Amino acid sequence: MKYVLVTGGVVSGLGKGVTASSIGLLLKACGLRVTSIKIDPYLNTDAGTMSPFEHGEVFVLDDGGEVDLDLGNYERFLDIKLTRDNNITTGKIYQSVIDKERRGDYLGKTVQVVPHITDAIQEWIERVAKIPVDGQEGPADVCVIELGGTIGDIESMPFIEALGQFSYRVGPGNFCLIHVSLVPVLNVVGEQKTKPTQHSVRGLRGLGLTPNILACRSTKALDENVKTKLAQFCHVPAENIVTLYDVPNIWHVPLLLRDQKAHEAILKGLNLLGLTREPELKEWTARTKRFDKLLDPVRIAMVGKYTGLSDSYLSVLKALVHASVACHQKLIVEWVAAGELEDITAEEDPDVYKAAWDRLKVDVLNSLPLQEADGVLVPGGFGDRGVQGKILAAKYARENNVPFLGICLGMQIAVIEFARSVLGLHDANSTEFDPETTNPCVIFMPEGSKTHMGGTMRLGSRRTYFKDADCTSAKLYGNISFVDERHRHRYEVNPNMISQLENAGLTFVGRDETGQRMEIVELPTHPYFVGVQFHPEFKSRPGKPSALFLDKIPAFILKWKSFLIAYMVYVFRVTCGMKLYCNRWIDFTTFVLGEIPYGAGLIAASCGHLENLVRDNGHMRKSVSSGMSNGHSVVKPYVNGGATKPSNGSVNGVYSNGNGVHLEGNC
């Protein structure tokens, strides 16, 4: 097993996660099998109880692990399925050591940071690195390890000591250290300054680790004299110093590394040079260029609680980007703080209230441009703040035939709104927000715990069965009988109210194996109104469409491995085109089957011509690789993706006008 360690210096938020993911992708493009580990030095056992404002979203894995969002980057870049043990925290390490001490495993010895904690870290890394994560048998060839935080942080010291011992233990040729540092450019003199990186490397070497490669973040490519200076003072060969300068979108990062021969430096350090092929990134390069050239906008209003930090909804945002690129559309996200839609805001700050509604509303008959949203997305969340605003957003979308997608809490919100507005149950609510409500549409699920928050929800991959094979969701999935998606919730739709809701027109088309847990809800009379209890964004992958067309199913229906991509592709089609003739109120099934009134070409044109995704006569473009899913052959997505934590309003290659910020960055 070969190991690549990625550390960071000077400041946090430099993009270690993107760098680690890009390195993994580059090595995979060279023909190697790659796995990843993220080390987080905080004392929490996992990320499950953290506020999104602290560390961004909580990413959920197939096994139910609640982990740092960087593991989502790894999965998207490398198209792998990681486990909860791929995220190491100080809390996990100390807990395992204390458990051993209580069992008497140390035979009465004094338990200390060195050697017991450091040994536990090394053993954990070696054990997890051998777990297959790419669907093949046997361990990977290379394990990329990202050490969170910044060199010099006191909480990282046990890990740095352990990794220093580990590098000596595995020996030369099996360990490569890449240090990500900052080379700032001072506006006053316009000169690239190397001193921060010099000090960072000196501190790293003083702790027993010597970098093989320097990855320098800067606004522009490093000058040759700067590289020479860094090589002299940091004891790193000039050819092993690469620049990660600012780029239009994060898909350029692996290409930057390739163009600067970073893979050769890594392979040389791992004694693999000459044993692998040149990196195959043709598909990646084409996709990156296409992303840069997108012009036609599609606007999606993201109505949420944590809109102040876009990382809180990172996977949702990425899934939207994946779908928009596939549709050749330039995604513009209108960030709408749910609380700003509520009546109390109208009283306290009318200007904020009006601005929020202006970002949400769209004239569906006249197709007005500018900042009005073409579709509405309500993502997951916890707590009652902003709930009323989300209900108002769902009501607006339902009553005005605006495409709507509700995820987790977003689905529950849609059900509550329907019960209030259509059934006339004005106090309908979730027992999470109103335990005394007489019409509990959403109730606490018996599988969880009300007293312990960490790891007690319905977590991980669960199976959803389609009750109606002719429903929108089943068609988008390719007419399969079930689908496996990831969950993270405590509350669910009350099964005792299902018949009442369905008699009024709402349909619960997806359920669990017992038929008691509602997973997917649709409103058949609406052009596109869908809610899902699971989180489809966690399995979203960028790249070319990864679906097959089934017999007699028109080319408009794509079976995406990521449920959100499937949904949002249709959302983009509807939001970009449906409004052009929505005064004729076309039935959804008629639309999907292609039996649309004259002028349907406007939809494809306004959405960037979905013909680019499929060949004539319902055949897919050439696939990257194939596989099996739920008994049907599918095309695996060619995976990229990744994220940096937002800095100065920059993230995700998305233009966001909702808060006056122009966003660029990653996928």
Residues tagged active-site? 408, 535, 537
Q: Among 352, 355, 344, 403, which Cα is nearest to 376's?
A: 403
Element (H, E) at 303: strand 297-304
Measured between alpha carbons, how far is 147 from 163 in angstroms, rounded to an integer?
Answer: 10
Q: Is 404 left (phi over 0), alpha (psi -120 to 50) or beta?
A: beta
Measured between alpha carbons, how far is 626 from 403 in angstroms, rounded to an integer?
Answer: 32
Radius of gyration, alpha carbons of the chain = 25
Q: Among 656, 664, 637, which Cα is nearest to 287's?
A: 637
Tell me the two tokens of residue 148. Answer: 């969170």
Q: Are the beta carbons of 186 and 78 closer than 8 angstroms?
A: no
Tell me the two tokens of residue 423. Answer: 């059934």
> What's the length of the chain?
667
The residue to which tokens 């669990």 are assigned:
512
Residue 399, number of CB atoms within 10 A of its CB: 11
Q: Are the beta carbons of 174 and 2 closer than 8 angstroms?
A: yes
- The residues facing 410 across adjacent strands are none
Angle at the Cα of 280 (from 271 to 76), degrees rounded to 5?
95
Measured between alpha carbons, how far is 350 from 158 in angstroms, rounded to an integer?
Answer: 52
Q: Where are the beta strands (DSSP E) in 50-199?
A: 59-60, 66-67, 87-89, 142-147, 175-182
Q: Residue 547 contacts by C-beta under 8 Å, 6 or more apart in sequence?
A: 478, 558, 559, 560, 561, 566, 620, 634, 635
Measured between alpha carbons, how far is 662 from 667 in angstroms, rounded to an integer?
Answer: 15
For the CA atoms of 289, 254, 562, 445, the dihedral, rounded to the nearest 10 degrees, stands at -140
- The residues facing 23 across adjacent strands are none
Measured between alpha carbons, how far is 640 from 185 in angstroms, rounded to an integer?
Answer: 30
Tell me the two tokens of residue 504. Answer: 């009024």
- The residues facing 532 across adjacent strands are 407, 520
Q: Is 549 left (phi over 0), alpha (psi -120 to 50) or beta?
A: beta
